[in-house]
Amino acid sequence: MNSKPFPQQTAEYHGKVRDVYYIENELLVMIASNRISAFDVILPSPIPFKGQVLNQIASYMLQKTVDICPNWLLSTPAPNVAIGKKCIPFKIEMVVRGNLVGHAWRTYQAGGRELCGVNLPDGMIENDFFPSPIITPSTKASEGHDEDISKEEIFKQGLASAEDWAILEKYTLALFARGKEIAAKQGLILVDTKYEFGKIGDTIYLMDEIHTPDSSRYFYSDGFEERQAKKEKQKQLSKEFVREWLIENNFMGKEGQTVPNMSDEWIDTISKRYIELYEKVIGAPFKPAEKSDDETYDLVCEALKKLHA
Q: 277 and 187 share a domain?
A: no
As a whole number, mean pLDDT of residues 220-248 equals 92
Kindly report, residue by residue over 273-303, the tens digit of the pLDDT: 999 889 999 999 999 998 999 999 999 999 9
Neighbouring CB atoms inside 10 A of 22's CB total 17
User: Which one of 238, 253, 285 terminates a domain?
Assistant: 238
In a domain, 1, yes or no: no
In a domain, 252, yes or no: no
Residue 142 has pLDDT above 80, yes or no: no
Instruction: Spell out the residues 6+ positions from residue 111 whose beta carbon is closer than 8 angstroms to its own.
Output: none
How many residues does this entry show for the chain? 309
The reply to whether 80 and 102 lie within a common domain is no
Contact 79, 55 (CB under 8 A): yes
Beta pairing partners, 81: 31, 78
Distances (CA, A) of 153 to 23, 75, 97, 171, 293: 34, 36, 19, 20, 43
> Do 72 and 176 fall into the same domain?
no
| Structural domain includes residue 185 | yes
Instruction: Indicate if 276 and 295 belong to the same structural domain.
Output: yes
How confident is the model over 235-249, as pLDDT tens digits? Answer: 988 788 898 899 999
Select the more confidently predicted residue: 15 or 187: 187
- Residue 278 or residue 214, greater confidence: 278
- Residue 2 has a pLDDT of 55
Q: Are residues 79 and 184 in the same domain?
A: no
Question: Is the CB of residue 299 less than 8 Å from the CB of residue 78?
Answer: yes
Look up the domain containing 177 and give its range.
89-238
**Is residue 144's pLDDT more than 80?**
no
Residues 48 and 101 in one domain: no
Q: How many domains does the chain have?
A: 2
pLDDT at res. 145: 62
99 lies in the same domain as 212: yes
Please tell me whether residues 28 and 18 are part of one structural domain: yes
Which residue in 278, 248, 252 sits closest to 266, CA to CA? Answer: 248
- Asked whether residue 254 is domain-assigned, the answer is no
The domain that holds 38 is classified in CATH as 3.30.200.20
Residue 99 shares a structural domain with residue 232? yes
Same domain, 106 and 177: yes
Q: What is the CATH number of the domain that holds 215?
A: 3.30.470.20
Contacts of 12 (CB under 8 A, 6+ apart): 5, 19, 20, 21, 22
d(CA 7, CA 18): 19
210 assigned to some structural domain: yes
Is 168 part of any domain?
yes
- The answer on 271 and 180 residing in a single domain is no
Is the domain of 30 the same as that of 75?
Answer: yes
Answer whether residue 253 is part of any domain.
Answer: no
- Contact (CB, 8 A) for 30 and 82: yes
Task: Report the sign of the C-alpha dihedral through residues 38, 101, 48, 72, in that order.
Answer: negative
Inside any domain, residue 246: no
Tens-digit pLDDT profile for residues 15-61 = 889 999 999 989 999 999 999 998 889 999 999 999 999 999 999 99
